[in-house]
Structure 1
Amino acid sequence: MNVVLSIAGSNSSGRTRIQANSKSLEAFNIFGTSSITVLTAQNTHGVKETYEVAAPFVKAQIEAVLSNFNVSAIKIGMLYSNEIIDMVRDVIAALNIPIVIDPLFISKDGSKLLNDNAIANLKTLFPYATVVMPNRFEAYELFGYEPKDPSTLHKMLKLPYRVLIKNEAIELNDRFSFSFAIAANLALGKTLTESIEISKNFISLGIQHAPNLGHSINPIAHEKYQLALN
């Protein structure tokens, strides 16, 4: 069984982040491991409180996993501080496996979750990534991307790494499960194009069959993809 390591924050509601990781990976018969960077008190309405995990402990989690498992791919989410970003860069620079970066630093309503210095530092990870997956707000902050201005897209085509900008439907429902699914398929040896197409089908099925839970945005139905295959 292939193994994926997720370096990201938690979500107490189970709808996204590390908790969504295990559900997404199971749909593709992948074993999920994790290093948690930030704890959130959260429900389907939003984040109530956050608690940053110290960078040395984030590193200890990563080292514990890498020393014990043959990790086939890494998915990186919210890194939350410069110290964590610096440490993660040192780790991934020494690896030769697929790396998916879903650089959570601007929420779906446009609010910044990192300071400008940390955002600039985050970009130093991108050359090590198989694909970088910002939302539209993050794409503007990172690359100056404007959907209505084709010239900004042409500039992005010259970047030395691949970028996949998530649309609003995926962003609203579960950006994390989409990036986890891509990491899972890369771990299985699929090409990036194949991984994206499979993951689009996975997330579409999950959104269509989302259970009515909570009182705001429903979690997606991760299990529907596996059921559809059977």
Structure 2
Amino acid sequence: MLIDAHCHLDFEAFDDDREAMFDRARTAGVGHFMVPGTTRERWPDVLALGQRDDVHVSLGLHPYFMHEHGEGDVEALAQMLDDHPEVRALGECGIDARFEETLDDQWELFSAQLRLAKARHLPVVIHCVHANDKVSKRLRQLDLPAGGLIHAFAGSPDQAWKFLDLGFVVGLGGAVTYERAQRLWRAVKSLPEDGFVLETDSPDMPLCGYQGQRNEPARIVQVCEMVAKLRGETTEAVAAQSTATAKRVFGLDLP
């Protein structure tokens, strides 16, 4: 069984065929899904998906949506985490340095969420774009007890190992399928078998050959095949490694 360790199945892009999307994923061998929350407005939809036997969730405030976050959102997140013990992680949160105009506010929001995760011993799901070194430095300062996931990792082997040394794993998705991703390929080859999980970031992060199309969890099989090719391993071995690591990181009691 494969686990899609990061997919936004609550997004409107799936409203017209959500059940069919789940069916395609199951047919492809994807048996479980981690769905992260991104904004306070979307948390109820994420929690509703979490009622499914094949879905677990996390809740957070995503840096891409800074214009949607408001006063009291961090306090509301703290309350939601206390009210919903089924939530397996805090996130998606993090830093997206492409948006310089909100960067100071991003760091403030990110730090506040990291403090919540530390106080509750929750793993953290981190969005990190053009900020690997600064984010790893911040994580080292806080010494988070439960580690977490660096989602959509696209950095160097050295950057990957800095995160691993802090108790985090890296998420591998559509980016690994592009030939231009030579630095990422080197990182993938360097990872220990318990240092990564497979993900799609559906409906985003399309694989090579699917540019401009909606992504979906069934395509994690192709991500698995590419990772296996890079590592010189079988797809069965990579799938088993990723699934075991996702279970460990998120505390999933699955067969």
Q: TM-score, normalised by structure 2?
A: 0.41
Q: TM-score, normalised by structure 1?
A: 0.44
